[in-house]
Amino acid sequence: MTRPEDVLVQRLGETVLEQVRFRDDLTLIVPREQMLRALEIARSTGFRLLTDLTAVDRHPAQPRFDVIYMLTSVEQHARIRFMVHLAAEQTMPSATSLWPGANWLEREVFDLFGIRFDGHPDLRRILMPDDWEGHPLRKDYPLVEEPVEFKGHTPKVPSQIIPKSKPKPL
């Protein structure tokens, strides 16, 4: 039996730049310009549920952002993940024309990462206050402790108690 993911990969053909398989999760890396078409093909192949849309900040690596789309086929019980590499100043095409549910998800990515979506009907902040400065989930946005009023104590960010160890790439 061919799996729905394999059918999709076949239908996408040249659009897929790279396939990453890790712990049974399949990620398809697609160029930015082809993303909407790839999503449309995926939707017509049965991946009708946009489970999630999010981003990862790879700062200081380049290209800086990865935008991630997770799709689910509710009938065939299959999942697929799309990834787009995005430079810091680039924008993404909005998926709201395909899924109205992408509206809030894209607003959240804009709010927390500062990635703009072209063609989004209402791209405003959603979780942070409207007048907030900066995008909190960016890696260069610091997490700091609030100052205290009393003497003899230097606030320490709880996250510094156990220092980060060196990354070990694959």
What's the min distance (Å) between Cβ of 90 and another protein?
19
Nearest residue (CB) to another protein, 7 versus 137: 137
Nearest residue (CB) to another protein, 15 versus 72: 72
Side-chain-side CA neighbours of 28 within 13 Å: the count stands at: 26
**26 near another protein, rule: CB under 8 A:** no
Site for another protein in 95-124 (CB under 8 A): 99-101, 103-105, 108, 112
Nearest residue (CB) to another protein, 12 versus 109: 109
- Maximum alpha-carbon separation in the chain: 69
Q: Kindly give, in sequence order, each residue whose CB lies less than 8 Å from that of residue 120, ignoring residues fewer than 6 positions away.
A: 94, 96, 103, 106, 107, 110
Measured distance CA(164)–CA(170) in Å, rounded: 18
- 10-32 burial code (b ≥16 CB/10 A, e <16): eebeebbeeeeeeeeebbbebeb
- Binding footprint of another protein on the chain (CB under 8 A): 22-23, 25, 27, 48-52, 54, 56-58, 68, 70, 72, 74, 77, 79, 81, 99-101, 103-105, 108, 112, 125-129, 136-137, 141, 143, 157-159, 162, 164-170
